Structure 1
């Protein structure tokens, strides 16, 4: 059975570590908590839908933390400061290989191709994003 969507929109989240202290919106099923009774975003291995729009995320490298969510196929990040960064959409798509929807728009084969080109041009020794196929 799949996990409920996680709604952390409009919570003033800056780094994703802020999600530990935020109470998510209510989904159809309750979300799991860790032994400290906190939500640990990257430990929600079955998570498929994540809403993070309308926050204060200002560093695109925060998206890299989400690669630990192997089934994530839908994400919203619009309304965050990272939305204005050059390569925003390509960076997110290249980091999250299973993504089908981003900011309520489908991820097309053309988006995937552009993300691969963007990744090849911008990858360096310190970047840890996996190659998207």
Structure 2
């Protein structure tokens, strides 16, 4: 058995801090995670053995201190692969999320994200397979689904809906029609 697979078998369930009226990362550290059907696992130093974090249905307006909070709570913060921040009041996609290179599932639905360009930040996540953004103001933007799929070409699901071949074709057509190629600046001749 590989070292990673052995370590994965030692991991516990998601760290569940949903519905706790949390409005800052300092609040997170004051709360005890909800006990689910499977008990949380901790390593010798007391840090949590998990790759998943649920902070949904709280009152977060920013992620200031998120990285420090994750470092404090998790035994292997760099291996975080599932984050649920749905139903908060986040106005943007914080770049701190792009530091979790193993992130494959990111739930941001039901927030206050208003600019499609915010999605561009997530292109830095090579393993992102599932993203939710519905219920944000950006959902009303023309070309919403096609834009996201043109930026995040590895997604398998968007807003809990499978990405189809037709979606990929639409995204490619949308990109050709709406994204101007970057012009290369040539040095002036002397």
Q: TM-score, normalised by structure 1?
A: 0.75
Number of equivalenced pairs: 105
Give the structure 2 partner of residue 103 of structure 1. 159
Cα displacement (A) at 1:98: 0.5
Cα displacement (A) at 1:3: 3.5
Matched, 1:15 2:15: no
Matched, 1:44 2:121: no
For residues 116-127 of structure 1, the aligned pairs below 5 Å read 116-125=172-181
Q: CA RMSD in A?
A: 1.5
Where does the alignment leave 5 or more consecutive residues of structure 1 unmatched?
Answer: 20-39, 127-133
Question: Hey, what's the Cα distance between the residues in 1 that align with 2:118 and 2:170?
Answer: 21
**Deviation digits for residues 11-68 of structure 1, max 9, x if unmatched?**
1011113x7xxxxxxxxxxxxxxxxxxxx20101000000000000000000000000
Matched, 1:62 2:118: yes
Give the structure 2 partner of residue 80 of structure 1. 136
Runs of 4+ in 1 over 6 A off after TM superposition: none
Where does the alignment leave 5 or more consecutive residues of structure 2 unmatched?
Answer: 5-78, 183-190
Looking at CA atoms only, which structure, 1 or 2, has the larger radius of gyration? 2
**Deviation digits for residues 55-112 of structure 1, max 9, x if unmatched?**
0000000000000001101000000000000000000011001000000100001100
Q: TM-score, normalised by structure 2?
A: 0.53
Q: Which has the higher contact order (CA 8 A, sep 6+)?
A: 1
Q: Secondary structure at the match of 2:127?
A: coil
